[in-house]
Chains A and B, each alone.
Chain A
C-alpha cells in the first residue's frame, strides 16, 4: 500500500473536519489567561479578574477565566523563564520582567513603553509598621539604625519588595542625611545589622512580624501595611519623611499569548487596569492608582510623604542589580547573618 494512499485521505479528512470545528469550539468554550504575579496582589487580582471577566463578556460576548499564580517576584520571573506559560506577568519590579524578555525572549525588550506610566498602572511606596503605642518611638529611617531596634525586612536577593526597602533606605541616607556612597553603605549596613530574621519574601516578613511577634518595626509595601493595620489595633503605621515610588510593572508575555490565541484578550486585560473601574479596584486594595481622578477620590487613604523615583537616585534597574544585588555586590558586602 502506498504511503500517500494510507496517510493522505484520512489526514485530509481530519484537517477539514478538525480545523473547521476548532474556531467554533474555542469561541463557545472561552479563553483562560494565566496571570503570574507577585506575593501581595492575591486579593487585588481576585476582585479585578471578576470585574474584567464581566467587562469582557459585555464587550465581546466571550467568556474569559483567569488563573493566578503568586509568589516572590524574582522567583515568579524565573518560573516563567523556565516554562510557566504565563499570558501576562504583573510583577513587583520592571527588572524581573526585563529578565523574562532578555533570557527567554518571550516579549520584546521595549515592553515597558507599551502601556502608560512605564507599564505601571499602580504604584506603592515603602512605609513602616510598628507595635501598638510605638514603644521604640520609630519615626523615620534613622531610628531603624539605632542599637536595640529590631527591624524586619526580607532578603533583597530573593524578594522584590526587599529591594524597594533597601533602595528607600539608601535614598533616605543620600537625600536626607547628605550621605556619600560610603556613608550610605554604612547606614544601610547598620540597618541590616538590626535585622534578626531575613525572610525570603514579603509575606514571610509579615508573618515574622505579625504572627511570630518578632521585631520592633516591619518595613514593607504601603498596601500590605494598610491591609495588615486594617481593623487591627495591635499595630500602627508609621510614615517616614521620605520614601521611594515602588512601581510594580505589568506586561503581556507575547509568545505565550500568541501560542494560546489569547493575545488580544491579554492586551485588553492589562489595559483595563488603567480604566476607571480598574483603578478603583486598585485603590480599594491600597495601591496608589495611576489615575489622578481616582487618586483624589482615595486621597485620605494614603499618607503624604516626599517620594523619589528610582531613576533619580540610581539610574536604572540594571545598574542597581549589578551594583547592589548581584553576587559580591554591596548587599553581600554589608550583610552578615547573625
Chain B
C-alpha cells in the first residue's frame, strides 16, 4: 500500500511536469502574441497621430503663406498679404510749431499746425505702388502727393501723378528728415510739387540716380494740379555718389549732382520767403511770366559718421513782362547746411538710426543734433525796379540759422531753430528790418 501511494505520488509529480510545461508555454506564447499585436496597434496609432500633426503643421504653414498680416510698429500701420505683393500702409506725420519773432516783429508770433499729413501708401502686384497724401496744416486742405509708380526694374521706374519735381536736393529730402525746421533760401527758386510723368532709376550699384520728367510746369516754389498754360516743362536730375563702392570710407558719403528745368511760363511769378515764412520779395502785381523759364541747380551732400553737409546753388531765369516791357530776370541762391549728431549716431540724408531711444525707466535720452546753415538769395538788380517795387521787395536776403534737435525715438523729434535774416532794400526807408525768429517744432511720425 505504501509503495502504491509512493508510486502514485511519483506519477503525479512526473505528469504535472510533463503536461504542465507545454501548457504554460502555450499560455506564454498566446500572451506574447497578444502583446505584440497590442504593440503593433499602438505603433500604428502613434504613427497616425504624428502624421496628423505633420499635416496640420503643413496646412498651417500653407495658410500662413496666404493669410494677410496686420502690422503695427514704429514704422506705421500696415495690412499686407503674406507674400507682401499687396500692402496698404497708413502712415503720416504731424508738425506742431511755435513761431516767435523778436525785435521788430514782421508778423504775430504764433502756434500753428505746420503740417498735418496722413499718408496712404500701397503696393499692388509687387511692382505697382501708390501714395496719397493730403495736408491739413495751416488750417487749409490740400492734396500734396497723389501718384502711381510702376517699378519693374530699379534702373527704370515710372511715376505718374502729382509729386516732388526732381530738382532741389533739400526739397527732395523728406521734411521729417530735414534737420532744419524751415527750408533754406534755394527752395524758393525751384519747384515744390508738380503734376506730370517721370522715368527714373538707380544705376551702377545704386551709385548714380537719375530722373527725367515732363510736367505741367510751376512757378518757383510752386505746386500745381492743373496746367495754367499750354506748355509743358521738362525736368532732369542726375546725382552720383562716385565713391560709394570704392571702399574709402570718408568719401563714401559724398554725392554730387545737378538738376535743370526748362519750360515756358505764363502767369503770375512767385514771391520769395524767409525761414520765418514772411514774404520778402514779390513782383509788381502787373508783372507776369511771358516766355522761357529755366533753372539750374547744382547740388552736393556729404555724410560721414555724425557729420552731415548739404549744399546747393540755384539759378532761376524767367522772361517777365510788365506793360510793354519784357526782359529776362534772374534770381540766384545758395546754401550750406551742416548737422552734427552729438550723441554719435551716423548722420544721413534719410534721417538717423537712434541707438538709445528716450526712456525714463532705462535712463536713456535719445539722440541730440546740432545744426547750422548759411543761405542767401538775390534777384537781378538791373531789372528789379521795372518788375518789382524796391520799397517793398528786398532784392537780397542773407540768413543764418542755428538749432538743436532732440530725437526722442524714431517717431518723435523736438526741434528748435534760431534764424536771423538780413535784407538789402525792401523798405521805404532803405533796407527791410532784419528778421529774428525762434521756431520750435514737435514732430510726430507714424
B50 to chain A, nearest CB (A): 7
The one of B55, B232, B263 that contacts A197, using a Cβ cutoff of 8 Å:
B55
Listed stretches A177-185, A206-214, A218-226; interface member: A206-214
Q: Is the interface of A mostly helix, strand, loop or mixed?
A: loop
Q: Is the CB of B234 within 8 A of A199?
A: no
Chain B residue total in the interface (Cβ 8 A): 18
The one of B47, B48, B51, B264 that contacts A1, using a Cβ cutoff of 8 Å:
B264
A1 proximity list for chain B (CB < 8 A)? 231-234, 262-264
A147–B234 CA distance with the chains assembled, in angstroms: 82
B231 to chain A, nearest CB (A): 6
Q: In the complex where A1-B264, A204-B55 touch, is A6 in contact with B234 (Cβ < 8 A)?
A: yes
A197–B230 CA distance with the chains assembled, in angstroms: 72
Q: Is the CB of A212 within 8 A of B51?
A: yes
Q: Interface 1/0s, chain A 173-204, versus B by CB < 8 A?
A: 00000000000000000000000111110001
Assess whether A259 is interfacial by the CB under 8 Å rule: no
Q: Is the CB of A199 within 8 A of B230?
A: no
Q: Interface 1/0s, chain B 41-66, versus A by CB < 8 A?
A: 00010011011100100110000000
Assess whether A150 is interfacial by the CB under 8 Å rule: yes
Q: Interface 1/0s, chain B 220-236, versus A by CB < 8 A?
A: 00000000001111100
Assess whether A17 is interfacial by the CB under 8 Å rule: no
A200–B232 CA distance with the chains assembled, in angstroms: 60
Q: In the complex where A6-B214, A7-B214 touch, is A199 in contact with B55 (Cβ < 8 A)?
A: yes
Q: In the complex where A1-B263, A200-B55 touch, is A6 in contact with B232 (Cβ < 8 A)?
A: yes
A213–B59 CA distance with the chains assembled, in angstroms: 21
Q: Which of B107-156 contact A (CB under 8 A)?
A: none
Name which residue of chain A comes closest to B62, CB basis. Answer: A200
Q: Is the CB of B51 within 8 A of A2?
A: no
Q: Is the CB of A2 within 8 A of B231?
A: yes
Q: Which of B166-191 contact A (CB under 8 A)?
A: none
A212–B59 CA distance with the chains assembled, in angstroms: 18
Q: Which of B233-263 contact A (CB under 8 A)?
A: 233-234, 262-263
B44 proximity list for chain A (CB < 8 A)? 150, 196, 214
A12–B51 CA distance with the chains assembled, in angstroms: 63
A162 to chain B, nearest CB (A): 14
A196 proximity list for chain B (CB < 8 A)? 44, 48
B262 proximity list for chain A (CB < 8 A)? 1
B65 to chain A, nearest CB (A): 12
Q: Interface 1/0s, chain B 320-331, versus A by CB < 8 A?
A: 000000000000
Chain A residue total in the interface (Cβ 8 A): 16
A51 to chain B, nearest CB (A): 33
A3 proximity list for chain B (CB < 8 A)? 214, 231-232
B264 proximity list for chain A (CB < 8 A)? 1
The one of A2, A204, A214 that contacts B48, using a Cβ cutoff of 8 Å:
A214
B139 to chain A, nearest CB (A): 36
Q: Is the CB of A197 within 8 A of B231?
A: no
A6 proximity list for chain B (CB < 8 A)? 214, 232, 234
Q: Is the CB of A212 within 8 A of B47?
A: yes
The one of A7, A200, A214 that contacts B51, using a Cβ cutoff of 8 Å:
A214
B231 proximity list for chain A (CB < 8 A)? 1-3
B264 to chain A, nearest CB (A): 6
Q: In the complex where A197-B55, A199-B55, A200-B55 touch, is A213 in contact with B47 (Cβ < 8 A)?
A: yes
A212 proximity list for chain B (CB < 8 A)? 47, 50-51
Name which residue of chain B comes closest to A7, CB basis. Answer: B214
B400 to chain A, nearest CB (A): 39
A7 proximity list for chain B (CB < 8 A)? 214
A214 proximity list for chain B (CB < 8 A)? 44, 47-48, 51
A189–B55 CA distance with the chains assembled, in angstroms: 22
Q: In the complex where A1-B232, A7-B214, A214-B44 touch, is A197 in contact with B59 (Cβ < 8 A)?
A: no
B214 proximity list for chain A (CB < 8 A)? 3, 6-7
Residue among A6, A198, A200 having the largest count of chain B Cβ atoms under 10 Å: A6
A82 to chain B, nearest CB (A): 10
A2–B264 CA distance with the chains assembled, in angstroms: 9
B36 to chain A, nearest CB (A): 14
Q: Is the CB of A197 within 8 A of B52?
A: yes
A6–B236 CA distance with the chains assembled, in angstroms: 13
B38 to chain A, nearest CB (A): 14
A80–B233 CA distance with the chains assembled, in angstroms: 44
B85 to chain A, nearest CB (A): 10
B174 to chain A, nearest CB (A): 30
A2–B234 CA distance with the chains assembled, in angstroms: 11
Residue among B47, B51, B233 having the largest count of chain A Cβ atoms under 10 Å: B51
B40 to chain A, nearest CB (A): 11
A1–B214 CA distance with the chains assembled, in angstroms: 10
- List, sorted by A's number, 13 A–B pairs whose CB atoms are closer than 8 Å: A1-B231, A1-B232, A1-B233, A2-B231, A3-B214, A7-B214, A150-B44, A200-B55, A200-B59, A204-B55, A212-B50, A214-B47, A214-B51
